[in-house]
Amino acid sequence: MKIEIRDINELTFGDLLSECKGCLYWEAPEEFGNVSTGITNTEATEIKRNWFITTNETMGSSGKILYDDGEAAGYAQYAFPRFLECAAEYAEGLFPVSPDAVLLSCLYIRAGHQNKGLGTKLLQAVLEELRERGYKALETYARDESASNSSGPTALYLENGFRAIKTGRWGNRSYSLMRYELS
């Protein structure tokens, strides 16, 4: 098994997993799953591509693709909450991300590649990069009772040195705001 992790940029964006390429949950929640807006998959993909270009220009790399034997198998996305519109909904529904933290909005490993430690490898690559760039902390909203969440399960973060700084219910789901100190 040969693992490679690359930053998402204009060259690698085309490799982004199909299930993630047009997902606008964090970047443009008003467009996410809203068929009434008439947004096409192509338009959604272009919105996501432009989000990466703009965010990368402002804060540096904001995403990574994990390749397993040459196949795109994992995806991570992170930015300051101000770049992720949906972060405001989480701040209101649960609690805000700490002012000194970068938000990990997505950490996803494609079916068929799970349970091989790839999520940990991808997470560690994100942590290493943010530490090298001098950021103070990484936070994420993890779902406590299920792995079915854009950022993955709480257990993954606990296993990788994160701590829960707040836990709460939003609707019928329990979430923890997980934090990792980078400095």
Full-model pTM: 0.93
Question: Tens of pLDDT along 63-93?
Answer: 999 999 999 999 999 999 999 999 999 999 9
CA 163, 169, 174, 175 torsion-angle sign? negative
111 is written with which tokens? Answer: 């079916």
- DSSP of 5-66, one letter per residue? EEE-STTTGGGS-HHHHT--TTT-TTTTT-GGGT--HHHHHHHHHHHHHHHHHHHS--EEEE
| CA-wise closest residue to 149 among 157, 138, 141 | 141
Question: Tens of pLDDT along 135-147?
Answer: 999 999 998 877 6
Say how far apart CA 80 and CA 57 lie, in whole Å.
13
Q: Are strands 63-68 and 71-79 parallel, antiparallel or unpaired?
A: antiparallel
Domain carrying residue 121? 3-181
Question: Tens of pLDDT along 42-55?
Answer: 888 999 999 999 99
Q: How many domains does the chain have?
A: 1
For residue 42, the domain's CATH number is 3.40.630.30
